[in-house]
Amino acid sequence: MDHKIKYSIIIALTYVCGLFPSCVDLDIPPMNVIQDKDLMSSEEGMALYMARMYSQMPYEDFKYSPDRGFFDDFCVAPGTHEGSSIGRGDCRAVSGEGFSRDATYARPGFWNMCFELLRDANYLLENLPQYKGNFSEESYSHFMGEGYYIRAYVFYSMAKRYGGIPLVTEVLKYPENTAEELEVPRSTEEETWNQILSDFDKAASLLSEISPKRGYANKYVALGFKSEAMLFAGGIAKYNTPLDLTGFGQKTGVRVIGFDSNTAAAASKKYYTEAYKAAREIMKSGKYSLYRTKWSATDREAQYENMVDLFLDANSSENLYIREYQFPDDTHGYDIYNGSSQHMKAMGVYNNPTLDLVELYDGIDRHSDGTLKTWNTNDRLDPNRRYILFEYITDIFRNIEPRARAFIIFPGDDYRGFPADIRKGIFTGDVPAEGIPPLMEQNGVLLNYDQVNLVNYDVIDAYTAKPGEPKGRYSEKVLFMSADRNYNDAAEDVTLPPGSKILDPGATFAHGSGQGGPLRNETFCTISGFYVRKHMSKTFPMAYINAGREAACDHHCVLLRYGEILLNVAEAAAELRLAGESSVDGDDLSNIAYNAIKDIRERAGANPLASVSELDGWDGLLLIRKERRKELPFENKILWDIRRWRTQHSDFVNGRSPADGARWRILCPFYSSKEDKFFFDARMDERNKEWRFNQNQYYFQIPVAEVNKSSVLDQQPTY
């Protein structure tokens, strides 16, 4: 399937952009040096035109980060704003993305970038018909479809951030048009989503079923992103209205954000229906399927390997759309900024999967409150609690669903040929018959298990006690934790008996923290007890890393896949059922949703659904949402899910509202030298890195400079 994003015409693209004044100024026609007849008279010329547009598409790939915006390969951390992971830096919910950095780093601002792309798409749609005779009917239709597709995607990218936007659907000409004619006010949010729907439909009707070139869209790509966009629109129409998050522009009086409460319900049902139909058309085409190259119904290791390869196989049957890279000219830094220093010269470990994410998956032992079971009592707050000792560090997650291991590197998991040495510290104290009491317990108070009593391990009794200066139950230091990844603090090394599980062959001592574990004073390590595995290459050209090159990765990024399509159809079906519909186009919505989730869970190695009724009602919808969180972390999808569900401000995180500041939970593995076994602390992230979010932040601020210089462009009513 030749529909992957590949920018192979680098020299030609640079030449064209250098000659097109529209690269820097919207008011000058883009074709004033290379004429239309040069570009629109042949497939080769159109390849240049398409390469220019695709090079600027606002795809949320490995060069995108909410903190830094688009076209930046630094600090790549999809997941740090959605709750799937915590970052080395700020742990905050995104409210405006990192576009303020654009001027500093000489990158195009998102707002202006979008209007440049819209101009190019509109120019194609207006002028290509004059050259129709130069192309086959199929090629001409496809290129026109590309124009609608790019316009739809750009509008969609803007609408999910800003709500109602200026719907520029024709080329604005200067000086032919007056200044007043060049001013385009924001449309209503409902009008905006209707335009997106119309453009995606036109694109799907015109695009080829198979992309004629690597990097081009096709009919099913348009349908896939349409289903995603319409789910967003349906959610805003339904869940934004009860918040009364709506308002009119001061300059125009247009409802620029939110839906009219009188039309919201009907609009929501319409958008969910369109999302459902688009996803079903992809399913019925038979051109895509869940990736099962290595999958086996009876082999959990094969299921795990299959899910790993899903994101590394550029020819996967699941890929609808991927962004490809090529060393050395077009690279990214995903592995560099997320890998463990144990495996490579890591540059920060910006993706640290949370324990909250891990606890979503099936196959772990739990306390009565649903949290990971690390104590020997059912109630994790039982005063008689003691750590469970595990023979091997991998035992605690031995039965977790294979999908989780394919997305997350757990302590002791094999990665690139050797176990992930993730350990917080070594405990050398005696082990009473009743077990080891909590390390984070002082004066009867259990620390770091709520969001108030937060301290680091280096201040607790087990770490600070000295001979002659006992602390609590300890008469000497019994906890050893490395300070940094160079292990300069020999006082944190522990001599161990031969054959101890954590000793390397021939070694007599071990560092307090493992080679990839959480360190006391170092940021180039995991801070959560886990590393991300999704997207990470199995083998990597170490020479590039060791040479200090940060953006040296060139494996592809999956932007749209069939697994998401199944989740889309299930969610749209569940929403329609809640709205009173039982079928669409003859489909039984209950059965379609059930089979979609059943297939996802079967491939993942998760527990099977009990029956169709498990997806009934509101609880069924919540189960589908949970499945999305389990299937789509680290793909720049979940953040937009919780925004369109309007739950980012209201879902309590470990007992605390995001409005008050909340923290995620982490897991700290320890090794008991006396028992040659392992135990775990499941607790809050103790760093002062809470995140906050309030409902006014669902809509991003329009660039102030653009608002100030326009007589018709309205700022958000919430700003």
Between CA 42 and CA 39 the distance in angstroms is 7
Cβ atoms < 10 Å from Cβ of 446: 16
Q: Which amino acid is at 102?
A: D
What's phi and psi for 677, nearest 5 deg?
A: -135, 180
pLDDT at 136 over 80: yes
Residue 553's pLDDT band (cuts 50, 70, 90): confident
Who wins on pLDDT, 452 or 148? 148
10 Å CB burial of residue 160 (0-12, 13-18, 19+) is: buried
pLDDT score of 92: 57
Per-residue pLDDT, averaged over 692-716, amounts to 93
pLDDT score of 540: 67
> At CA 134, angle to CA 130 and CA 139, rounded to 5?
100
Contact predicate 687/443, CB 8 Å: no
Residues in the chain: 719
Digit-coded pLDDT (tens) for 19-54: 232 333 333 344 445 567 778 989 999 999 999 999
Between CA 40 and CA 135 the distance in angstroms is 9
pLDDT at 73 over 80: no
Per-residue pLDDT, averaged over 432-453, amounts to 86
> At CA 407, angle to CA 401 and CA 411, rounded to 5?
80
Between CA 456 and CA 519 the distance in angstroms is 11
Going by C-alpha positions, the residue among 139, 154, 124 that lies closest to residue 225 is 154
Who wins on pLDDT, 354 or 487? 354
Residue 18's pLDDT band (cuts 50, 70, 90): very low
Q: How far apart are the first and last CA of the chain?
A: 46
pLDDT at 329 over 70: yes
Per-residue pLDDT, averaged over 84-89, amounts to 81
Residue 541's pLDDT band (cuts 50, 70, 90): low
Per-residue pLDDT, averaged over 413-437, amounts to 93
Per-residue pLDDT, averaged over 686-695, amounts to 80
Measured in whole angstroms, the distance separating CA 202 from the mean position of its chain's CA atoms is 29
Per-residue pLDDT, averaged over 450-456, amounts to 83
Between CA 157 and CA 700 the distance in angstroms is 12
Going by C-alpha positions, the residue among 276, 282, 271 that lies closest to residue 220 is 282
Digit-coded pLDDT (tens) for 193-252: 999 999 999 999 999 999 999 989 999 999 999 999 999 999 999 999 999 999 999 999
Residue 103's pLDDT band (cuts 50, 70, 90): very low
* Tokens read off for 201: 């439909």
- The label of the residue with tokens 């953006």 reads 551
- The label of the residue with tokens 């007599």 reads 508
Average per-residue pLDDT in the chain?
89
- Residue 437 DSSP symbol: P
* Tokens read off for 88: 């080395």
* Tokens read off for 583: 């079928």
- The label of the residue with tokens 């669409």 reads 584
Three-state SS string over 621-675 comes to HHHHHHHHHHHCCCCCCHHHHHHHCCCCCCCCECCECHHHCECCEEEEEEEECCC
Digit-coded pLDDT (tens) for 517-533: 888 877 778 999 999 99
Between CA 658 and CA 691 the distance in angstroms is 7
pLDDT score of 300: 97
Question: Range with the lowest mean pLDDT among 184-188, 543-547, 709-713?
Answer: 543-547
pLDDT at 99 over 60: no
Contacts of 486 (CB under 8 A, 6+ apart): none
In a 3-state reduction of DSSP, which class is residue 489?
Answer: coil
Contact predicate 589/345, CB 8 Å: no
- The label of the residue with tokens 């954590």 reads 502
Contact predicate 62/334, CB 8 Å: yes
